[in-house]
Structure 1
């Protein structure tokens, strides 16, 4: 099923509209920034039910053009009692979601015009075993089934898991992986490689921020989990001397930092990305331990 086929389902639209974090951020950005919306011509690309288009009309836009690739959703949305400033259209020549936004920006956004959202940032953080299935399988009504958990972790080391991570399971501070300026970025910049270092943590008028962080209320997007092939122990640098002969990243000699080099590129399959992750753990004495490169595909 393509992205546009998936968004022909009313279920996904109910999920998005029920996502309070998402809706609060969008409504605040649209309704509480009159200098951007009052009298403006607005295009809502991939409008779905048209809820954001209705917000734009409510905010005082002189004209709202709501564009949708799904004939089913566009047909339903035109049955509302629409403001006179709104018009619905169907555009089938849409690519990926972000690709379509950049295409529309380059073709129709006037000089000095605004795009919402205007920036997007990807963060990375390390998580502990509490975010894996290991604890569950270690005690199943008194029986140890940890062999199943280990199998699942091995699978997760190849295929990213999209799920909600509890902030109490984060064991490092969050680090910026990549920031996109949607007003200026080029389509080719969607693919990138970035190097980051994870360190253990110790326990306009109205800008709007839509966060999918584990430290904020959960959204329907959840988080994308990349699992190491084996756990890497981390601890502060003041480590007892008796563990210094052990491998870095083990419980006997925990790592002080973890260095990651992550590449994200669009895959041949529509709406799919390939991710590679190179991992190096660094001990408090500077010793390093490298792991084989891991490859993931996220569809």
Structure 2
């Protein structure tokens, strides 16, 4: 409890992080609650309002086929945020145990896991995702799995280096000396003392996953219409007419994406500084 209260106290000192956390929470509540509360349908077409500018009937206007931009931005935000969080969860689910095992047992299993991580990191993730999307399709679950699995080496290497550091501590050596089992040492001593830096980077990994999804969707290889995401809404800006004369089609989604990424990164900085105040930027 004392440790938690210290974390909260340090986190609250980072004003931008606190404000950003509030914004992110409000966004998450909004994308969950608003579609049902306002009966929003991102695929509903208004046949009398093609490319209509923002007004009373359509708060953020409509696109080229008459779909309400506000509804699509809210729905697309839910998909983009969901992909960011779940893809990060997949990365942690794969990278955490592999990094833990490699750092603890060393030897051949360490070499195998670390060389596998190097192989994953040697290929451009975006290129690999595009190849897999071409083979398996681009549904939301597939995109989540691809982004998550291809980003596990960063998590694995972070945990691996922390485990190596903790493994050499005197209190761990003492547990070896008294005959404590590997399972207990691994999960009750080494893991709790190795995982803090991972928490500090999770926010950055979420934002990175969201950027990757948006880039894929912008390229037409991510979330496929008519399902909305911020990335495929912004894709409309590839048309010069839309880019220059129909700003309402792409700017709202672009602003939401930028604000969300910036806020998540500020939250990540706040968590990092709260976990280790010595790392705080001057």
TM-score (norm 1): 0.23
Identify the structure with the greater helix proportion: 2
Identify the structure with the greater strand proportion: 1
TM-score (norm 2): 0.24
- Higher RCO, Cα 8 Å, sep 6+: 2
